[in-house]
Amino acid sequence: MADHFEVVETVCGRQEAEILQSFLRAQDIDCEISQEGAGIAMGLTVDGMGEAQILVPSRQREQALEAIERYKRAQPEKPARPEKSESQKK
């Protein structure tokens, strides 16, 4: 019987998805990436079009979720964007 794949993470962009895919595969977790065609073709990152989903077989779901948590803990926090001043908003 073929494995059913489940989404375990959604990331912003193909590059981040490929990094996470490599991380999971290095831990012997089967992994695929799914992304909207327009986001791939045009490199769009607005309105969710650049999002990519990480899918793993159901049997490896828990293992993948634990690995993703370890991956996230190892990543530095992204700096907050500075707020625009009133003159920049115009």
Domains and CATH numbers, the chain: 5-73 (3.30.70.1530)
Q: What is the pLDDT of residues 10-69, one digit of tens each?
A: 998 889 999 999 999 999 999 999 987 555 555 555 556 678 999 999 999 999 999 999
* pTM score: 0.70
d(CA 71, CA 64): 10
Of 3, 50, 12, 51, whose CA–CA distance to 31 is shortest?
3
